[in-house]
Amino acid sequence: MTTSTSSSADGLWHHLRLVPELAVLDQPLADGDAACIVVQDGAVQWTGPEASVPAAYAQLPRHDGRGALVTPGLVDCHTHLVYGGLRANEFAMRLAGATYEEVAKAGGGIVSSVRATREASEDELFALAAPRLQSLLDEGVCAIEIKSGYGLALEHERKQLRVARRLGEAFGVTVRTTFLGAHALPPEYAGKPGGSQDYTDLVCNEMLPALTAEGLVDAVDVFCERIAFTLAETEQVFQAAQKLGIPVKLHAEQLSDMGGSALAARYGALSCDHIEHLSADGIAAMKAAGTVAVLLPGAYYTLRDTHLPPIAQLRAAGVPMAVSTDHNPGTSPALSLLLMANMACTLFRLTVPEALAGITTHAARALGLQDSHGLIASGRPANFVLWPLADAAELAYWFGHKPACTIVRQGRIHGVQP
């Protein structure tokens, strides 16, 4: 399962409709003008009205967009895509009334994925993750974050992160890896006096430096929660990351207000994610630090949460909001970023333009990719999607429907041929 059948996207893409907020044009469009995108050497060289295409590009091979709507390639900025086993049994437990915390305490939850992930080989994990990734890519995802956090021991965290890197190469997609060693207490530390501190020390002093030296870590994340790591342990991990020059992000205020977001903002976090219980102080700190709020409606939905993230306050404060699948086997077995956009609108009351920015520009920023992804503009790698849709609102309107799109990813054409 590779991208070997794709063809080059170099040439002049014409007869397109752009979403104005998601593109920076070299020449403005007048009302009713069709847009063009010039791609050369896998990068966008020029965008603007067909009538103004510079002479130097006029002879390039043409790709007729037939009036398609064009967006930047989508960005899924929070996933746990690489894991062994499944947790469909927990779905049944929760339907019978158990909470996420009760499932975790009964030996299920993250720790059950840890067992299965440790048992799987690197090749097995790759084979399991590949169709999940393909499903996201088929819907226009051009950059994706993949976390570790189901290994919880050096060799197994390494295995997950190596699979993430291999997926990026095999599928021709931008992958940002995140080390989430502090996701849960591994079974061999659980119930031991000082176990949580000992494991945090291991994460900071051994796992993170070793994996960073191997080039496997683009960012560091922690699950800061009463069933996971404390604020002090979180800060210890952030300090270790800071020492190595690795940016941080946080699973913050998902089940309770721990003050994690304000702490993360103090460390210049790329993003704080979940944030259902985010406080006014947390919002102010995130705004000041330029930290992105990553909304994860899939987990909210699965857990039948009723505590909404403070959307109106985030909007009023001007904190950029991203939307992601949080794909994971426990709380969000979601393989559609467009469905998450729909749910962000319906459940969280985002506007359609907010949801679209949430799966493109703001999601890119949550990964530190704001200069290369999430916006159509000259000088960036060619990542964009042609949608057979009349109105951009349809991207958030339909659900359970994968539009037959043409995807230009890393300068190669995938999906429906234009």
Using rule CB under 5 A, residue 253 touches Fe ion: no
Site for ligand NIG in 113-132 (CB under 6 A): 113
* 147 or 412: CB nearest ligand NIG: 147
Neighbours of 67 (CB within 10 A): 12
What track of x and - describes contact with ligand NIG for positions 314 through 343 (by CB under 6 A)? ------------x-xxxxx-----------
What track of x and - describes contact with Fe ion for positions 168 through 207 (by CB under 5 A)? ----------------------------------------
Site for ligand NIG in 233-252 (CB under 6 A): 251
One residue of 219, 286, 295, 299 binding ligand NIG per CB under 6 A: 299
Distance separating alpha carbons of residues 93 and 143, to the nearest angstrom:
34
One residue of 6, 40, 212, 254 binding ligand NIG per CB under 6 A: 254
3-state secondary structure of 90: helix
Using rule CB under 6 A, residue 309 touches ligand NIG: no
One residue of 326, 357, 369, 382 binding Fe ion per CB under 5 A: 326
- Among the listed residues 140, 9, 24, the one whose alpha carbon sits nearest the alpha carbon of residue 62: 9
Site for ligand NIG in 70-89 (CB under 6 A): 80
Which tokens sit at 186?
């591994």
* 48 or 84: CB nearest ligand NIG: 84
Which tokens sit at 93?
């437990």
Distance separating alpha carbons of residues 155 and 383, to the nearest angstrom:
34
Number of H helices, E strands in the chain: 16, 16
**Residue 113 site contact among ligand NIG, Fe ion, none (CB < 5 to 8 Å, cut-off depends on kind):** ligand NIG
Using rule CB under 5 A, residue 276 touches Fe ion: no
Distance separating alpha carbons of residues 51 and 44, to the nearest angstrom:
18
- Decide if 68 contacts 387 (C-beta within 8 A): yes
CB of 329 to ligand NIG, least distance (A): 6
One residue of 35, 75, 110, 250 binding ligand NIG per CB under 6 A: 110
- Among the listed residues 169, 171, 129, the one whose alpha carbon sits nearest the alpha carbon of residue 147: 129
CB of 358 to ligand NIG, least distance (A): 17
Angle, CA of 318, 324 and 329, to the nearest 5°: 145
The closest residue (CB) to Fe ion is 326
Region at 26 (left for phi over 0; alpha for psi -120 to 50; beta for the rest): alpha
Using rule CB under 6 A, residue 219 touches ligand NIG: no
Report which residue type is found at 39: V
Residues 6+ apart with CB under 8 A from 235: 263
Using rule CB under 5 A, residue 235 touches Fe ion: no
One residue of 109, 151, 168, 282 binding ligand NIG per CB under 6 A: 109
Q: Is 333 exposed, middle or buried (0-12, 13-18, 19+ CB in 10 A)?
A: middle
Neighbours of 351 (CB within 10 A): 13
CB of 255 to ligand NIG, least distance (A): 8
Judged by CB under 5 A, the stretch of 195-203, 324-332, 349-357, 393-401 that binds Fe ion is 324-332
**Residue 200 site contact among Fe ion, ligand NIG, none (CB < 5 to 8 Å, cut-off depends on kind):** none
* 330 or 415: CB nearest ligand NIG: 330
**Residue 109 site contact among ligand NIG, Fe ion, none (CB < 5 to 8 Å, cut-off depends on kind):** ligand NIG
Size of the site for Fe ion (CB under 5 A): 1
The closest residue (CB) to ligand NIG is 330
**Residue 110 site contact among ligand NIG, Fe ion, none (CB < 5 to 8 Å, cut-off depends on kind):** ligand NIG
Q: Element (H or E) spanning 407, and its range?
A: strand 406-409
Strand partners, 16: 35, 68
Task: Fill in the DSSP letter of residue 275.
Answer: -
For 315-381, the DSSP string reads HHHT--EEE---BBTTTB----HHHHHHHHHHTT---HHHHHHHTTHHHHHHTT-TTTSSSB-TTSB
**Residue 322 site contact among ligand NIG, Fe ion, none (CB < 5 to 8 Å, cut-off depends on kind):** none
Using rule CB under 6 A, residue 46 touches ligand NIG: no
CB of 50 to ligand NIG, least distance (A): 44
Q: By CB under 6 A, name the binding residues for ligand NIG.
A: 80, 109-110, 113, 223, 251, 254, 299, 326, 328-332
Q: By CB under 5 A, name the binding residues for Fe ion.
A: 326
